[in-house]
Structure formats: structure tokens, C-alpha cells
A and B are shown apart, each in its own frame.
Chain A
Amino acid sequence: MARTLKLRIWRGDDKTGGLQDVTVEANHGEVVLDIIHRVQATQMGDLAVRWNCKAGKCGSCSMEINGKPRLACMTQVASYPEDETITITPLRAFPVIKDLVTDVSFNYKKAMEIPSVEMPPGMKPGEPRMQQIDVERSQEFRKCIECFLCQDTCHVIRDHEENKKSFAGPRFFIRIAELDMHPLDILRNRKKSAQEEHGLGMCNITKCCTEVCPEHIRITDNAIIPMKERVVDEKYDPLRWLGSKIRKREGML
């Protein structure tokens, strides 16, 4: 069942590089990561590629295959026509280190800027009790494997390097949403900081993050838009603002 596969693999570093043609055998059922490993073993011994679990759960083998951000370990070779040349490049939103490996430290810096959950004072470990219906929204966001494909495809930073300072990206909007929807979190400035520090207003909800998410998290519908609406509650809706002042609604929710 083997087929001969034509590949174009980007090779280079942060200074120079280009696409190199390779022809390799592919077996039935193999994924793109298998093919990259075969190329590495037989033709390009120094080809750099980041990978780990080969099961779509570690988020390491993110790259762009025929221009689309994907996990190489979850991309079946058979999904491409036999005569098609498959082009493999590193993520194009981040600085390249070598070949298919990029420097994704931008994401770790952004992660550190978001304060984690803050429990009510005096609550000891083991004491919190939450009902399933109160946490199920947040649980969807906990499926994130941090492959950063959503960050890679987001045009706000992919197409505008200068926005990286002021824009956290979809991966971190689901983190903020997760915390803002947390039934016990007492930090009340998450909406304000989402808008003013993490650039939620930069997102124009074109849903590319949702399209590429390998965990099928509905990033835009379930995290970004609800956060935008919560920001409107607090910042742009005069009636809600007035209501919150009169009835202290935030405390009631």
C-alpha cells in the first residue's frame, strides 16, 4: 500500500532558508509526522522537528502543512491526493529557530501575565465545592493542549508583529474566560484587563482560531464572544453599568 510522496520541507534558520524538495515512501495509515521522521532518518539527518506524544495530546508538532496550521501527528497522509506535493513549513507567526522548530516563548510570557484563580479568603485546600453545571463551561477550555495553532493562525499577530506587545491571543482569551466564569474566583478585574491589557478588542472574531483547534474548542463562540459581551456589560453598556452601581449585580452573579 506504499505510495511515493513528494514533499517540500522548509529548512533554514532565522537568517535564511527555503523549501527543499524530497521524495519519500509513505505507508498506508501514516501521518505527516511519520513521514518527517522517515525523511529525518534517511535523507536529512539534521532536520529539526519538535514532537513528543504522537497522539495529538502534547501539542508539540505544530507546523503548517500546505499552508494550514496543523498537528503533524494528526494529519493523515491519505487525506492528500496522490499527485499533490505536500508543503511543510514551521509556524509562520513565530520566530524560527531551525527548520520546523519555532520559538513560541511569546506564549509563555503572555501566560505569566494572567493571574491564576484567586479563591475567597480563608478557604483552605480541599474545601472548595462546585457544582458540575458551574464548571462545565470552563472544562471545555481546560482541553487546550497548548499547541498554539490558534495563536499561529490569528491574523492580529500573524500579520502584525507590532501587535504582539498588546495582544494575548485566543489561547489566553480562553484562559481568561475560564477564570472569569470560575464560580469561586474573586478577582473582579478580569474583564477590564482582558480589554485593556490583553487586547480583547483587537479580535475581530473571524474564527480562524476555532477552525484550527485540534481539540475542537469553540474558542470564539464560547470564550471570546462571551468575554466581549462581559466587557460590554462593564465598559460599554450604560444601562448595565447603572444597574451594577445600584444593585451591585456583580456580587449577586
Chain B
Amino acid sequence: MATGVFSQGRAKISERTLRTDKWWVQPLITFLVLIAFIIYATLRAFENGNYFAEPLISPFYSPCLSTACVAGASLLGTPFGIIHIFGMVLSPALLILIFPLGFRMTCYYYRKAYYRSFWMSPPACAVAEPHSKYTGETRAPLIMQNMHRYFFYAGLVFNVLLTVDAILAFRNPEKQWGHMSVGTLVLLANATFLWFYSLSCHTCRHTVGGRLRNFSKHPLRYKAWTFVSKLNHYHQNFAWVSLLGVAFADVYVREVATHAITNWYFF
């Protein structure tokens, strides 16, 4: 039975959309960039190597919590032993990636991005989606999107740790303080982008003041909400910049760790 725009009673138009602009460009670009990131991140997470070059550590492997981590890479110690799966040593990245991955997967912006570009629900506004049924986020697994705030809290912890990593990068390979390299700037930029991404988050906005009914009774929270609301306007931009920032920081650390490039020191 015909449904959607072809339902009985609606204007009889055979096309799924009459849009004449290039509506498919944006979801296509989103799809390509996200899929490229997913492939790269997966390869790197399973590589289990080339993630540490004193004092730089890749954001994919920080905090490095397993005894499988290379010496000096474990900021918080190694509470996990070496775990074997199918005869292979489990990469330390796989112990932690669920948190940043969960944060981005449940993010209100990324939801829009991948619902449109991957699931085509809808591919673009006023372009009929290909699915015959739709229940949105009312059932498992998508009802789990409501856990976003817990991933946000975890994301804040990661931001602190990656900021510490950036501060530790003000050392030279001999662990002496007072030095700064290109790698320091890369990790600093990465941590900064991640802070902007987290602080502009819709859950953050709700937490600092959005849930209130009376701002006038909570002037400090109103100010915080106003500030986060301004950042929230650019949440999409921060989402992309921070994603590319993480990938670039990882590429940079890998290149230094494999001696493909030298981490040039300013002082």
C-alpha cells in the first residue's frame, strides 16, 4: 500500500522529490568523511603501535591503561593486564574508545549527520526516505541515544586527560620541562577543539541551566547557559573540527613515532 508522499489523498506526484538543487552533495560529503574517519580510526585502534613518541601520545591511546602499553605512555598506570582475544593482544585503544565513540555516536549533531547520510532517514529535507517503517528513537537500540549525558560526562574526563597530555608535551624527549615543539601545538589544538566541542554540547547546555524554569532565581546558571548557548550555535563546526583534530593529532604522533618526520622544537 502506498505510504508517505504517495499516500492516498495527497497530491498525486510520482517523483520522490522535486528538489532541483544538489541536495545529495552534503550527505555524500558527510558520508565520505565519516567513513574515512571510521576506517582510519579502526585501523589505528587495531594497530597497537606507533602511538607514543616521548612526550607525545596519540589521543586514540590516551589514557593507555594496559600493561601492553609502551613504557612511559601510561598516564594513569596500567590497571588492565595484557588481554588476548583470538590469540592477539588487545590493543589498549580498544579499552577506552567506547567513551569518545559513544559521545560522538549519541551527539545530537552527529545523529543528524548519520541519520541523513548513512541511514537516509531522510537523506535531505523534503526528499522521501526509502524506509517503509519508522519508529525513530523510541525503541532499542536507538533509545540508547538517551544516554548521551553519561558519555558527555566521560568525555569531560577524557578532555582533562588529553589536556594533561598537551601540558606534558611542554617537555623534551628527556622529560625536561620548558620546551615546546610542533607536537605540543598539535596536542594543545586537539585538546582545545575537544573542549569547545564538549562545552558547546546540547547536554552541557541543558545541564548548566537549560533544565531550569526560572532563570531569575539562578543568575549564575543563567550566565553559564547564555555562554554555552552561544557556543552551542557552532556545535556542528566544533564537531567537525574536533574530529579532524583528533585524526590529525594521531597522524602526527604516528609520523613522529615511526620517524617519518621529526618533531621540530621551537625551544
Contact = CB atoms under 8 A, between A and B. Distances in A.
Contact of A203 (B17, B137, B202, B203): B137
A161 B138 contact: no
A204 B206 contact: no
Contacts of B250: none
Interface stretch (B41-49, B109-117, B188-196, B258-266): B109-117
Contact of A14 (B9, B121, B127, B211): B9
Contacts, number: 167
Interface string A210-253: 01100000000100011011111101110000000000000001
A236 B137 contact: no
A251 to B, nearest CB: 10
Contact of A64 (B7, B8, B18, B121): B18
Task: Report whether over half of chain A's contact residues are helix, strand or loop; otherwise say mixed.
Answer: mixed
Given A202-B137, A204-B115, A68 B211 contact: no
A231 B206 CA distance: 11
Interface stretch (B69-77, B128-136, B178-186): B128-136
Interface string A75-95: 000000000100101101111
Contacts of B222: 133
When A and B form their complex, which 8 residue pairs have the shortest distance between CB atoms, in order from nearest?
A: A67-B19, A67-B18, A202-B136, A208-B125, A95-B9, A229-B206, A159-B4, A201-B138
Interface of A: 10, 12, 14, 16-19, 64, 66-69, 84, 87, 89-90, 92-96, 102, 131, 133-134, 152-153, 155-156, 158-163, 181-183, 199, 201-208, 211-212, 221, 225-226, 228-233, 235-237, 253
Interface of B: 3-5, 7-13, 17-21, 108, 111-112, 115-116, 121-122, 125-129, 131, 133-138, 142-143, 146-149, 202-203, 205-206, 210-216, 222, 232-233
